[in-house]
Amino acid sequence: MEENKTGKNVSSGAEKVEAIEREKAAAAAHASAPKKTKRAASPKTAQKKAEALETAAADKRIEAAKARAGKKEKKLMHRAELKQKRIEKRAEYKAKRLEKRADAQRRKAERKQARLDHAAALKEKRVEKRAERIARREMLRNESKADRRARVEREKKERIALRLKRREQQEKAREQRMQAREAARERRARDRRHKREQNTERKRHAPGFGGWLAAVISLGVACLALGTIVTAGAFRMNDMTVQSANAYRTALFEMVSVSEDMDSNLSKLRVSSGAGERQKLLTDLLVDSMLMESALERMPLDNLTSTDISSFVNKTGSYCRTLLAKVSEGQALSETEKNTVEYLYGVNSKLYNELNELTTHMEAGDFMAFIDGKEGPVSQKFGEIGKSTLQEPEDTVDAPFSGEGNVGENKLASQEEISEARAEELLGQYLNGYHIAGTQYTGETVSERAACYNFTLTDENGMEIFAQITKNGGKLAFFDSYEECTEKNFDLDTCDELARSFLSELGYDGVQAVWLSDAGMVADITYVAVQNGVRMYPDLIRVRVCESKGRVVGLDAMQYLLNHGERTVKSGLSREEAQSKLSEGLTPYAAHLAVIPLNGEEVLAHEFACTYGEEEYVVYLDAETGEELQVYRVVDSERGSYLR
């Protein structure tokens, strides 16, 4: 007989189920048995009853065990799902990270390839440009004088035509902008008129306050109708007035624009020494003067003011035409002509500033009064502008004895002549730190002093540099670049150190700064050779340093190259003896022994920097006799210090 395991703990769910089934079968069999007559419970019956109770309790325990097992299994399944999700999420993150890394490597490779392609393109472009230069050089070397003259004339005409075309395009664009502004102004005026009409119409149809206002309303309607007729006529008159005012305003803005161009070109002409660059600037100034005269004729100015301004504009155009003819013949500008250019620049600069201030602060009512011929701020301002053009030129120089040129023997004439190719090679060495991207040979400049090869260079930022290399000796005689210098990051002492270092690299040693001028954000420093403590003013070098970037942007060493050499000097008067011969009232604060150019010769002199009250002077006395040779007055201006 099989042992009854009911009520015992079982280790398997299947065994528990079998035990339960057996117990249920036993209970069913017991229930189906015929009932006997109730009688006193026997021990056996009591035992069965106890077994039945035990079976019921066992069923409850089994159900509870099954519930716990299901809950545990569900919890295990949940943990397994969470673990699987974590594994999948980790795998997804890893895949994304690998993809991101691969994408970064791909982009890096693309950038590297782009750099290589760009470098290859630049190299190819340089090769092409070099081939073009070689071809052009070969063509220039083999062309005849007649072909050269024809080519130069053709290129000149092309440049002038291109410049005029560019100017026309600028004027057309400016005219279109003016028209667009005037159209917008008229549109706003129409909108305002329409709004006023709507407000008037609403007032006309506003509800009344009673019959006692009927007469007033009728009268108002009649007045409104009459006002409408008058207003319509006034609008038509206003349209004509607006058109006339727009024409005058356009002419005024054109005067401002042209005077600004003239200011830029005259500023460049002051420092330019190359024949090609001077020709270009003088041609631009001729065109500007004609445009200024045309705009001036369209302004409602009185005869006196119009004559004053027109006289200055015509004087500028006529003088530029004279200088253009002289430069085209290969002649150099004299010191007087340079001073005249300086004078024209000063007057035009004042003209531009006055016109710009007028357009900036001009009120609409004042301008309409000016158009109507009435006295007011605008007419008064134009009167002041006209008077400012009557300024007379002054005989000024930027530094002592600047622009004197050759004095005595020409030191360049005895040096070996070099080729244009060698000059280009030397130029690359001289301007090695300027990141030159392209060099173009633009011909020769031949004068009584020296012959020079002219080059136009372009750096990596597209800025142009004009330079001249002497045909004899291959020295850097001149270079200039028009860098924008807007901030003062370097003082004059630092600029002096930078300029000295640059001159030393060029081989111009043994020089001393004798004149420092702070012109805006550009330091203009003049150096002379010094021998045994004596300043040699014929050996003069001028250097321009940008105070924003701290680098040399201009050099003029021609005077130094023409005159530099060893000299023997001997002074007759001591410094104290010479100082005693100064004019009364002059108080010297510095003194030097100097060789100065005078009437084509070199003269030994005592140089005294003096004060007379609040003014400063530089006086030169003959070192032998004490005779006064030269007196300069120091003048300070917004464009730096100069001598007069």
CA 419 to chain centre: 37
34 assigned to some structural domain: no
Q: Is residue 302 part of a domain?
A: yes
pLDDT averaged over every residue in the chain: 78
Residue 131 lies in a domain: no
Residues 439 and 536 in one domain: yes
509 in a structural domain: yes
Whether residues 389 and 246 share a domain: the answer is: yes
pLDDT, tens digit (0-9, with 9 covering 90-100), for 36-61: 544 555 777 888 888 888 888 888 88
Asked if residue 172 is part of any domain, the answer here is yes
Task: Please check whether residues 578 and 445 belong to one and the same domain.
Answer: no
600: CATH = 3.10.450.40
DSSP 3-state of 462: coil
Residues 609 and 471 in one domain: no
Residues 425 and 548 occupy one common structural domain: yes
Q: Which of 6-10, 279-283, 315-319 has the lowest mean pLDDT?
A: 6-10
Q: Are residues 540 and 471 in the same domain?
A: yes
The helix or strand, by DSSP H or E, that contains position 628, with its residue range, turns out to be strand 628-637
The pLDDT, as a whole number, for residue 211 is: 46
Q: What are phi and psi of 539, to 5 degrees?
A: -90, 75
DSSP string across 570-587:
--SS-HHHHHTTSPTT-E
pTM of the predicted structure, to 2 decimals: 0.44
Q: pLDDT band for 236, please (50, 70, 90 cuts).
A: very low
pLDDT tens figures, 474-529: 999 998 887 778 888 888 888 999 999 999 999 888 898 888 887 678 888 899 99
pLDDT in tens, 195-233: 777 776 665 554 444 444 444 455 555 455 445 444 444
- Beta partners for 476? 469
Q: Could you list the residue range(s) of the whole structural domain that residue 155 is in?
A: 143-198
Longest dimension (CA), the chain: 174
Cα–Cα distance measured from residue 293 to residue 305, given in angstroms and rounded to the nearest whole number = 13
Q: Are residues 522 and 590 in the same domain?
A: no
The backbone torsions φ and ψ at residue 368, rounded to the nearest 5 degrees and listed phi first, read -65, -40
In-domain check, residue 73 = yes
3 assigned to some structural domain: no
Alpha-carbon span 245 to 261, nearest angstrom: 25
What average pLDDT score do residues 134-160 get? 75
| Alpha carbons 493 and 498: distance in angstroms, whole number | 9
What's the total number of domains in the chain? 5
- Are 460 and 388 members of one domain? no
Q: Are residues 251 and 313 in the same domain?
A: yes
Domain boundary among 123, 151, 172: 123
- Tell me the pLDDT band of 302, cut-offs 50, 70 and 90: low
Instruction: Name 542's Cβ contacts closer than 8 Å, sequence gap at least 6.
Output: 398, 399, 402, 524, 525, 526, 527, 554, 555, 556, 557
Same domain, 416 and 495: yes
* Residue 522 forms part of a structural domain: yes
pLDDT band at 8 (very low <50, low <70, confident <90, very high): very low
Contacts of 49 (CB under 8 A, 6+ apart): 41
Phi-psi region of 571 (alpha: psi -120 to 50; beta: other; left: phi over 0): beta
* 481 in the same domain as 361: no
Q: How far apart are CA 27 and CA 20, in angstroms?
A: 10
Could you tell me the pLDDT band of residue 3, with boundaries at 50, 70 and 90? very low
Q: Are residues 301 and 424 in the same domain?
A: no
Last residue of a domain, one of 342, 363, 395: 395
